[in-house]
Amino acid sequence: MKKDIYITDYNCVTPLGMNVSSNWMALLENRSGVALNSIGENQESFYVSMINNEELEHEFSKKFNERGFTRLEKMLLLSLQPLVSRHSVTDQTAFILSTTKGNISLLKNQDSIPHGAYLSALAHKIADFFGFKTQPIIVSNACVSGVMALSVAKNMILSGKYKNAFVIAGDEISEFVISGFNSFQAIGKEPCKPYDKNRNGINLGEAAAAVYLTSEPSENDKFKFKILGDSAVNDANHISGPSRTGEGLYASIKNAMTEAGIAPDQIDFISAHGTATLYNDEMEAIAFNRMDLQNVPLNSMKGFFGHCLGAAGLLESIISMESSLHQTLLPSRNIEEPGVSQPLHIISKLQNREINYILKTASGFGGCNAAVVLEKS
């Protein structure tokens, strides 16, 4: 008999707050972390969503009397610490890290690769700090990493080797990341406008997020979200450009919903990827219409948090679950006039609604796509 896998706890650290409750309040107030910032030496200013360094250091010093951690590591530790304090870590506990670039900033002005720049070193450092006993697993698959990490954790528990899992995700703004996206001419010249007619590119962001998954939920759990279905499909369309037919995303959604055993009209809310680039938003609109999901309320969180790379999918999943708990649909920020060829039900203002079934999607470079269906229990 197949076991049910639940998410029963989560936390996040973002430019809008150092925990879930402060982030939720900021979202209700329609506050965004996106602002004009100068990144590194001799760099022009970009619209990005960055965590305040003073606030980060203050929060870290309150909880940890430790030194020798990078800025990203501090974000990850702060995000995971409350979960570890509430749940036991045993030899049947999995640890999964989702990140695209990790400590890439350590490479600056170096003639050789520092040990800490390896993703494996980052994963071991965080896992060892909290006393995890199993081998850390790294999920680094472009911008679908955060959603895929949930799938990996679920399947690790289903294998029978693990009883629970901690999934942590994080990426930070760096000169390297800014330069890379700028070379694609993908960075917006203003606060991003997902799905809007006048969208002109992404705003990068940074965050850390953590969730706890288990096959044995407790009566003391304040909430439970069952992972009903998940899928990841690579359509191999292009090194950076999404499929014009939405093939990979369509297949990911179809597989996840088939496993979940639910029809399109049962989905109450879609947390979409919505990067505000011309081709991504168009591709998503096509894929959602192919799955007959065009009438389901949908938003993108990129206008609030920016694009947080390996943390985006996990952070946005957390915000989706908060929306369900509060029975509140959050607007897709900066939408003025829809600018995709297929119809979508884009949420334009805060509204109350019962949310039992959530579809979370993500897409990324190299043709990767992922989807997960969550049910509030």
Residues 371 and 319 in one domain: yes
Residues 248 and 155 in one domain: no
Residues 181 and 304 in one domain: no
Residues 165 and 307 in one domain: no
Helix, strand and coil percent figures for the chain, each rounded to 5:
35, 25, 40
Q: For residue 20, is it within any domain?
A: yes
Q: For residue 101, is it within any domain?
A: yes
Q: Is residue 210 over pLDDT 80? A: yes
Last-in-domain residue among 214, 244, 278: 214
Last-in-domain residue among 164, 185, 214: 214
Q: For residue 220, is it within any domain?
A: no
- pTM for the whole structure: 0.97
Residues 190 and 63 in one domain: yes
What is the reported pLDDT for 66? Answer: 85
Q: What is the bridge-based pairing of β-strands 6-13 and 207-214?
A: antiparallel
Q: For residue 219, is it within any domain?
A: no
What phi, psi does 191 have (nearest 5°)? -55, 135
Q: For residue 208, is it within any domain?
A: yes
Cα(280)–Cα(249) distance, rounded to whole angstroms? 11
| CATH code at position 10 | 3.40.47.10
Last-in-domain residue among 165, 182, 214: 214
What is the reported pLDDT for 179? Answer: 86
Residues 47 and 120 in one domain: yes
The arrangement of strands across the sheet holding 34-38 comes to 34-38, 45-49, 204-205
Residues 66 and 172 in one domain: yes
If you average pLDDT over every residue of the chain, what do you get? 95
pLDDT more than 90, % of the chain:
89
Residues 267 and 334 in one domain: yes
Cα(295)–Cα(175) distance, rounded to whole angstroms? 40
Q: For residue 97, is it within any domain?
A: yes
Cα(40)–Cα(104) distance, rounded to whole angstroms? 14
What is the reported pLDDT for 42? Answer: 61
Residues 70 and 98 in one domain: yes
**What integer is the mean pLDDT of 24-34?**
98
Q: Is residue 40 over pLDDT 80? A: no
Q: For residue 258, is it within any domain?
A: yes
Residues 313 and 368 in one domain: yes
Number of domains in the chain: 2
Residues 202 and 339 in one domain: no
Q: For residue 345, is it within any domain?
A: yes
- Domain range spanning residue 353? 225-376
Residues 130 and 191 in one domain: yes
Per-residue pLDDT of 58-75, as tens digits, reads 999 999 988 899 999 999
